[in-house]
């Protein structure tokens, strides 16, 4: 949908088939990197395990934005900053 508009604006577009490349291990790395990127200060941060990522992948498929939204809701309910993430 947006590809056509981006091409018309002179942008190069590369579409990546995420579903073909995604697996729980890769999802774990992506999510933990995102959590680290969103860090507000020093100290521990929650971590997503491969098992949790596998459950999220099974539940939501390769939709990383949907998974991140679900994690955001989970983080809002957490009391300890370094708790393992369980969704």
Whether the predicted model's global pTM rises above the 0.85 cut: no
- Contacts with 75 (C-beta within 8 Å, 6 or more apart), sequence order: 46, 85
Q: What is the pLDDT along the chain (87 residues), one digit of tens a residue?
A: 678 888 899 998 887 776 778 899 999 999 999 999 988 888 888 889 999 999 999 999 888 889 999 998 888 887 766 556 666
- CB-based burial label for 52 (10 Å; 0-12, 13-18, 19+): buried
User: Can you give the pLDDT at residue 84?
Assistant: 63
pLDDT score at 86: 65
Q: Residue 14 burial by CB count (10 A; 0-12/13-18/19+): exposed, middle or buried?
A: exposed
Q: What's the pLDDT at 82?
A: 57
For residue 32, the model assigns a pLDDT of 94
Q: What is the distance in angstroms between the CA of the first residue and the CA of the last residue of the chain?
A: 32
């Amino acid at each position: 949908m947006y590809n056509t508009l981006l091409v018309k604006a002179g942008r190069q577009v590369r579409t990546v088939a995420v579903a073909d490349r995604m697996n729980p291990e890769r999802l774990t790395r992506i999510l933990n990197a995102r959590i680290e990127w969103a860090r507000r200060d020093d100290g521990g941060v929650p971590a997503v395990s491969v098992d949790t990522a596998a459950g999220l992948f099974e539940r939501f498929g390769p939709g990383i934005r949907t998974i991140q939204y679900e994690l955001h809701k989970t983080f809002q309910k957490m009391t300890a900053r370094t708790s393992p993430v369980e969704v």
